[in-house]
Structures are given as structure tokens and as C-alpha cells.
Amino acid sequence: MLDRRFSIAPMLDWTDRFCRYFLRQISKRALLYTEMVTTSALLYGDQARLLKFDPMEHPVALQIGGSDPVQLSRAARLGQQWGYDEINLNLGCPSERVQSGRFGACLMSEPDLVADCIKAMVDSVTIPVTVKQRIGIDHLDSYQLLRDFVGRLSLAGSRTFIVHARKAWLQGLSPKENREIPPLSYATVYRLKRDFPELEIIINGGITSIEACEEHLALVDGVMIGREAYHNPWLLAQVDARLFGEETPVPTRDQVIAQLLPFVELELAAGVPLNRITRHILGLFHGQPGARAWRRYLSNHSYKSDADSDVIVKALRLVML
């Protein structure tokens, strides 16, 4: 059983395996999600590049985008074969590119199709198949429609619903605007939990502190945080103790870097450019003295063709001065 009290949202171009490995050094208990991967990319692309991850990342979930039940079942099987702990179906992304591929938030207008997709995936794997969705789209935003949608998918076999507490406008707003302009309605997600006490309901959207997580956890089963955790990753340092009751000492920031360096060395030896890793650690000293020097040094030196782990060590020395 996965403990989903706290998770990091799937974020395109951000939550790649380098980001996830780094975040795992700060929290051992947070559930991590991959970037969304489309079924066509998984089935016909470079599977090793898309699915490779380090065992230390566990627990880690694979998010898939698609709308064809057969392809989704095959993709789900691949995810299980590669060792992921959960398969998540993206029903929340509102971008036009995603809509053109007929997946993401636009599928909330097709509950029967989505139910077929969920059933096909559930029948193909033994790990959980979960959903990440909005509270509504466009003018399809009544609570009755939301409740019927969740009920339909639960009958198809999904028991966990990660609900972004905003509706999405599929036309007229960019993905960024869809994360900010539609008003948050946490009460709607709380109501879902009351109406479906047997389901696992995870709340997402606009949550930026551990205190807020604790408040939400009194009313729902879990909390998912996205961009705040990316820009201010030290937020995760409080997660294991305050949300999971762990008594393990929290590492310091320099200890996190010390734990990261052997991984960096291995990836550099495999031909990975340093800046593919360091771009994810820029926020480690967010709000701390020396944060600007840390970011500047990494940004100015990591892109060089001969950049190695010593760049990170030197940046850390600047912060420690």
C-alpha cells in the first residue's frame, strides 16, 4: 500500500529522474511522480530514456497521457515491468497541444471513454491505477457532474483521485493561467471525500506550506504540491517528521549535496551534461543567505562542456562562506 499523504506533482520538463533523485535526498517518504509521458512515446519511442529511474526514487509513480484503452493498457504494463509503484492517468492538463492529442483535461467531457481506459489499465497491471483531474472544465463544472465522473471511474477500478481544486478553461487561457486564474475551491474536494469516504482523495492546487498540508489532511487523505516544492525544495525537509511521524534526523543542505555527488559522478561518466542535473537544485538555498551566489555560480558554470561535480562543490563553498 502506497502512503499518499504527501506527493510531488508531475511537472512537464521538471520532474525528470534527475529532479526526483535530488528530491529523494530531502524526503524519504514523499511520493514522487514522473513527467507526463504519452502512450505513443512509450510504445514507439525510446523506452529506456523515458522510463529509466534509480531504485532510490521509490516510491515513484508513472504518469501517462492518452485516450486509447488498448494503448493505455500496454503502456501501464510497461510501467509495471519497469518497476513503478503506481500508474497515473492525466486528466488535468489543459494545454492546446495536449487537447490536440485527445488526452488531459478535455477527457473529463467523455466519462465513458475514460472509464474504458481505466478498466483496461486496471485489468493489465497489479499496481494501483490512479487519476489526476480537475474539478471541472469550461461550463461542465457542476458538482453533480464531478461526482458522477468520479463515481463512474471508481466503478471502473480506480480508487485514488488526485483533484486539482480548480476547473480548467480549455480555450482562452494558457496552462500557466489555468493554474492561477480559475478560483480554488478546496470545499469541492472536501465534499468529494465526504461523498466517497471509501475512495482515496488527494487535494492539489495552491498549497505552499506544511501548515496548509496539515490543515488539508484533517479533511482529505493526501496533499500534492507542485511548483512550490520545485522552487523551494527545502519544504520537503519537514515532510517526513510532520506528516509521516518519522523520527529520523533531517539532513542539512550540505549533507544533501554530499549524498547527491556520487550520483552526479555516475551520470557525468555516462555522458549526461552537468546542467541537466544542476538546473533542478538551484532552489536548494531558497530564502537563505548565499542563495543568489549559489544560483549564479551554478548557472554560469554548469553549462560548460567540461563542467564536472566540482562546480557544485565550489558553489556550495560560496554559500558556506
Residue ranges of the domains in the chain? 6-244, 253-320
Is residue 270 predicted with pLDDT exceeding 80?
Answer: yes
CATH superfamily for 6-244 is Aldolase class I (3.20.20.70)
pLDDT band, very low/low/confident/very high, at 248 (cuts 50, 70, 90) = confident
In this prediction, residue 300 carries a pLDDT of 97
pLDDT band, very low/low/confident/very high, at 271 (cuts 50, 70, 90) = very high
Q: Which residues are catalytic, by number?
A: 93
In this prediction, residue 100 carries a pLDDT of 67
Higher pLDDT, 95 or 217: 217
What does the pLDDT average to over 53-70?
97
CATH 1.20.120.1460 fits 253-320, yes or no: yes
In the DSSP assignment, the letter for residue 108 is G
Q: How far apart, in whole angstroms, are the C-alpha atoms of residue 244 and residue 115?
A: 33
Is residue 111 predicted with pLDDT exceeding 80?
Answer: yes
What does the pLDDT average to over 186-198?
98
pLDDT digits (tens, 9 = 90+) for 123-180: 999 999 999 999 999 999 999 999 999 999 999 999 999 999 999 999 888 888 988 8
Q: How far is CA 251 from CA 8, 195, 238, 316, in A?
A: 19, 40, 11, 15
Predicted structure pTM score: 0.96
- The dihedral over CA atoms of 91, 95, 99, 101, expressed in degrees to the nearest 10, equals -100
Q: How far apart, in whole angstroms, are the C-alpha atoms of residue 197 and residue 159?
A: 11
